[in-house]
Amino acid sequence: MIASMDLNASPQPEEEEDSFEPHLEEDNAPEHTAHVEHIESAVEIARREREERRQRLKRERPDDRPTHASKPPIYDQMLQKNFRTYDRNKLPPGWLDCPAIGQEICCMIPSKVPLGEFFNDCIPPGRRYSSKQVIHQQRVLGRKLGLVIDLTNTSRYYPASDWKKEGIKHVKIQCKGRDSVPDNEAVNYFVYEVSQFLSRQKLSKKYVLVHCTHGHNRTGYMIVHYLMRTLCISVTQAIKVFADARPPGIYKPDYIDALYNFYHERKPEIVVCPSTPEWKRSSVLDLNGDAVPDDDDEDDDDGGPAAPLHENHEIDAVMTNDDVLGDSVPFDQQNAMRQFCYQALKLGIGVRGNAQFPGSHPVSLNRDNLQLLRQRYYYSTWKADGTRYMMLITMDGCYLVDRNFNFRRVQMRFPCKSTNEALAEKTHHYTLLDWGDDN
């Protein structure tokens, strides 16, 4: 069907376009008085359907909460963002019914987030769970806390001074909880902090409290990583250890899949992800009937978008010679490994105390360097494109050492060669490898 159009007629204003004609009341005239049939454009149809959804949501949700049905304007986002600052005492969804604490795992205690005293008005007296109560409960069990690792992505739950004034170290590792797993740098930081804390204990035994919002997914993800790097067990065994200590364990499939992918293990068919606990299930549904994600799944004060799941796991990316391999490590850990390299090679720190790359450097075979062959023996090789690395092998992973003496961790293990089956699972620990040419 081809509609006729009068080319001499003036264009009609858009639906939301202001008209500056003197008779403004004519814009509100009924559509049935028009002589030409109006055909809705795609833009008008989308605008009308969006308005219908807004009206339906307003009838179903009188409190006019922001939803994911449509993206609000920038001004509305600013108002919502400012409004959240006045709702800082809102309890995390499911927090009241979530079990407070789990069993001890290698001196680590998984827990939901303790809430500061300014939340007391929102919590019945018998269900409060603050830092003071955590310390008291652990003392009753004969445990003394020495370190608290906070994995939430916000600082609104309690002031860190609540722990510090009790002589307990507080470490903040911000991890988003919605649609993403903790990145590799955060995992390295967590494993290093726990390892250093436990290794420094001499007389009294102290424990580590690890918490995210509910103490399951992010907390379990970090603890499983620690178990994998310190014990000779599989991912399946490590996940079960955490699930037994903190039922039902990690219940997000993305977290479990990420653990198997990271350690290059195939997920057994018998491994089934636990269902979402009843206390965590949301009763708020969107237009499609799906559960609306809780804001506190991300713990983000500004409500910004979450990072993609595989941001630090580029599986299909094409590598080039300029790519940087591995993940960065904590500064203190890097300094400790630098000291080990100098001690293993029986080298002294420079006069200024600056540690320089201790490995051999390639020398170009040009006219000026030919005289070096008369002074000492050299190995001559072809020019191999790539980045010059040394490798430090430890039981918790391998570390590539570049010519700037920076360390970056890669997930590799080198089992020890042994004919004894009991020792077959042992790996090399603090073994330094070097090559004479570019790798």
Encode the chain (439 residues) as per-residue pLDDT tens digits.
Answer: 444 444 444 445 444 444 444 444 444 444 444 455 567 776 677 777 778 877 776 666 554 444 444 444 444 444 344 444 445 678 899 999 999 999 999 999 999 999 999 999 889 988 999 999 999 999 999 999 999 999 999 999 999 999 999 999 999 999 987 778 999 999 999 999 999 999 988 778 999 999 999 999 999 999 999 999 999 899 999 999 999 999 999 999 999 999 999 999 999 998 899 999 988 876 444 445 454 555 444 454 433 333 444 444 444 455 555 567 888 899 888 988 888 888 888 877 654 456 678 877 777 778 888 777 778 776 666 666 677 788 998 888 899 998 888 999 998 878 777 645 544 457 788 888 886 444 4
- How far apart, in whole angstroms, are the C-alpha atoms of residue 243 and residue 275? 13
Q: Specify the pLDDT at position 356.
A: 78
Are 212 and 273 part of one and the same domain? yes
Classify residue 46: in a domain, yes or no: no
Our separate counts of H helices and E strands in the chain read 10, 9
Classify residue 382: in a domain, yes or no: yes
* Domain limit, last residue, from 244, 275, 298: 298
Cβ atoms of 217 and 152 closer than 8 Å: no
Total length of the chain? 439
Q: Specify the pLDDT at position 363.
A: 72
Range of the domain at 235: 108-298
Are 263 and 335 part of one and the same domain? no
Classify residue 28: in a domain, yes or no: no
Are 287 and 229 part of one and the same domain? yes
Domain count of the fold of the chain: 2
Q: Specify the pLDDT at position 437.
A: 46
Active site residue 383: yes
- How far apart, in whole angstroms, are the C-alpha atoms of residue 108 and residue 198? 10
DSSP structural state of residue 92: P
What the block records as the tokens of 145 is: 């806390």
Cβ atoms of 188 and 329 closer than 8 Å: yes
| Cα–Cα nearest to 113, from 20, 182, 216, 40 | 216
Q: Specify the pLDDT at position 26.
A: 43
Are 265 and 156 part of one and the same domain? yes
Are 231 and 187 part of one and the same domain? yes
Are 339 and 279 part of one and the same domain? no
Classify residue 383: in a domain, yes or no: yes
Are 145 and 188 part of one and the same domain? yes
- How far apart, in whole angstroms, are the C-alpha atoms of residue 226 and residue 242? 11
Q: Specify the pLDDT at position 438.
A: 47
| Cα–Cα nearest to 160, from 146, 149, 176 | 149
Residues 6+ apart with CB under 8 A from 412: 393, 397, 398
- How far apart, in whole angstroms, are the C-alpha atoms of residue 51 and residue 58? 11
CATH number at residue 424: 3.30.470.30
Of the residues 98, 175, 212, 341, only one is catalytic, namely 212
* Domain limit, last residue, from 298, 322, 349: 298
Are 284 and 206 part of one and the same domain? yes
Active site residue 172: no
Cβ atoms of 111 and 209 closer than 8 Å: yes
Cβ atoms of 185 and 196 closer than 8 Å: no
Of the residues 132, 164, 165, 383, only one is catalytic, namely 383
Annotated binding site: 388, 403
Q: Specify the pLDDT at position 376.
A: 76
Are 424 and 348 part of one and the same domain? yes
Q: Specify the pLDDT at position 129.
A: 96
Classify residue 313: in a domain, yes or no: no
Residues 135, 136, 137, 138: is their CA dihedral positive or negative?
positive
0.75 surpassed by pTM: no
Classify residue 150: in a domain, yes or no: yes
Q: Specify the pLDDT at position 293.
A: 52
Annotated binding site for GTP: 388, 403
Classify residue 343: in a domain, yes or no: yes
| Cα–Cα nearest to 206, from 259, 266, 150, 146 | 146
- How far apart, in whole angstroms, are the C-alpha atoms of residue 192 and residue 98? 29
